[in-house]
Amino acid sequence: MGYLKKALLTALWFAFLTFPLVVIKINPYENTVEWRWLNLLYAASIGFFGSLARQAFVTVKTNKTQRPALQGLERERLVDTKGFRIATLVLLFLFLALFPWQVSAYQVNIMITALLYVMLGLGLNIVVGMAGLLDLGYVAFYAVGAYSYALLNLHFGIGFWTALPIGGLLAALFGIILGFPVLRLRGDYLAIVTLGFGEIIRLILENWTEFSQGPSGISGIPRPGLFGLKMTLDQSMTYLYYLMLLMVIFTIFATSRLQNSRIGRAWAALREDEIACRAMGINKTRIKLAAFAAGAFWAGLAGVLFAAKTTFVSPPSFTFMESAIILCIVVLGGMGSIPGVIIAALLLILLPEYLRVIADYRMLVFGATLVLMMIFRPGGLLAPSRTTYQLSSESSPSNT
């Protein structure tokens, strides 16, 4: 009951703080004021579910550190918190499932973009957060996925569902191609090479007109279909929203399993100390290539989804600024933290859109928020907790 009370207080406080921004809209031409009370409900819902998610995360983190000492009543409390987590996830799922039916098509379009950046952030989190390899050319793999779908459809008539895995695999192949030259590089040198790789891909797409249609780009890319049914634009966007939601869930599941797997622990060892990693017998070449390939694979999938969403791709969509935004998502969320990356992606993409009500000052507020975050939370919104292993007294060898 205490969880719900705290969440309700947070929702009321969040609604109070955002009231001038999301409710009041002044029309200077007609000299009228529009009161958007429905937006206040959305703001309160975000505060409520965000508070529940944060409390669930803190509870799980506390239980992990105190698990060996749990006895009797404490174990019953752990079961209760597990039920609380399940209830929170169910409420969050219902909110996301009903979202397209409660808002306008514009809001759905923005949320699709935010979910797209969640995928990109989780993909780059593999390379930067888990493996510790600074990649400033991540947008190149994003472009490979988008142009794979556009060119395959233009020349061979290949549809979305066939192009989706092809785009991901081609991006993974380019990730391996990038990985080989940078195997011996670290830090700033690695960042410079990956930045150059991203610019090379963009310039090839912009200047090789016979291959990529040059600066004019490729238009008329079909959106994903559903058993051949004809859909209106709004129906197509709703369908794409649910498709993006499923892809994000799949990405979260896959990246969390990778993080807790044997290769994930090898990435963590590589990130902490490369020399010690090699001394323990870990194949540095294979581990680095696997990190680049895995991260690029998710960028390729996101690129195919981006091309299907916009139905148009061109080189200006894949500049260095895209890589910078995705890297900001990973750093602000907490490098290696999956929940942190998700929250940071939603904030960085949704916040500028919802701050349009303050016009010219919205980017000033946005930039100030980033600066304050780096000063007061340098580890990110949700810094990942270090996993510890402890031998039980039963398995420890007895002294003789």
pLDDT in tens, 334-343: 888 888 888 8
- Evaluate whether 333 touches 240 at the Cβ level (below 8 Å): no
pTM of the model: 0.76
The helix/strand/coil state of 22 is helix
pLDDT in tens, 120-145: 999 999 999 888 888 888 999 999 99
Using CA atoms, how far apart are residues 128 and 300, in angstroms rounded to an integer?
A: 17
**What residue ranges define each of the domains in the chain, with the CATH number in brackets?**
1-102 (no CATH), 105-376 (1.10.3470)
pLDDT in tens, 20-77: 666 777 666 666 777 777 777 777 787 777 777 777 766 666 655 555 544 444 444 4
Q: What is the pLDDT of residue 346?
A: 87
pLDDT in tens, 196-225: 988 999 999 999 888 888 888 899 898 887
Record the tokens describing residue 119, joined without a space. 């995928």
Residue 223 is classified by DSSP as P
Using CA atoms, how far apart are residues 338 and 340, in angstroms rounded to an integer?
A: 5
Using CA atoms, how far apart are residues 108 and 136, in angstroms rounded to an integer?
A: 29
Q: What is the pLDDT of residue 224?
A: 87
- In this prediction, residue 82 has a pLDDT band, given cuts at 50, 70 and 90, of low
Q: What is the pLDDT of residue 60?
A: 60
